[in-house]
């Protein structure tokens, strides 16, 4: 089943995210719950999941970004695409991305874009097969590190 997250999905989503760049399982702090609530309340922030056997098996995030160019049409940004290792190669991530495209289309977005840190040919081919290309734009990233307590 492909759907958007609900409040009770936090733990399952965080467990899945542990496979994304080897993220540790965060503590369930007031700050984490506040971030989760803000995500759930943001009409432009869509966390899409594929559920298999009652567990979150795959996910992606689709954020709709308002825009003043392109006839004021928004665009969609896709991030945190991940499928649990036990459920890979079943089309779940593709279904999540397709759901994100449905949202972007409904919101009248003129484009969707995503970034991946992967250099694996299989991952890049997966995104190409899903309709993304790496020819039209060049992505640059500037990493910003912020230690809590220092501003």
Reported CATH class of domain 2-129: alpha beta
Taking only the tens place, the pLDDT of each residue in 9-34 is: 999 999 999 999 888 999 999 999 99
pLDDT tens by residue, 97-109: 999 999 999 999 9
* 16: nearest Cα among 83, 97, 115: 83
DSSP of 89-147, one letter per residue? TSSHHHHHHHHHHHHHHHTT-S-EEE------HHHHHHHHHTT--SSS-----------
Domain ranges of the chain: 2-129
CA angle 65, 11, 42 (to 5 degrees): 25
Looking at residue 22, what is its pLDDT? 80
Position 96 scores a pLDDT of: 98
pTM: 0.92
């Amino acid at each position: 089943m492909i759907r958007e997250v609900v409040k009770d999905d936090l733990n399952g989503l965080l467990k899945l995210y542990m496979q994304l760049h080897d993220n540790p399982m965060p503590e369930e702090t007031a700050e984490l719950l506040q971030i989760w609530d803000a995500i759930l309340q943001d009409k432009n922030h869509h966390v899409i999941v594929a559920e298999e056997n009652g567990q979150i098996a795959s996910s992606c995030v689709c954020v709709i970004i308002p825009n003043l160019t392109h006839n004021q049409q928004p665009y969609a940004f896709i991030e945190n695409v991940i499928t649990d290792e036990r459920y890979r190669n079943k089309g779940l991530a593709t279904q999540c991305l397709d759901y994100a495209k449905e949202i972007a289309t409904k919101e009248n977005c003129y484009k969707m874009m995503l970034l991946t840190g992967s250099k694996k040919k299989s991952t890049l081919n997966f995104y190409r097969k899903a309709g993304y290309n790496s020819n039209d734009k060049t992505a640059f990233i500037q990493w910003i590190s912020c230690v809590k307590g220092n501003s």
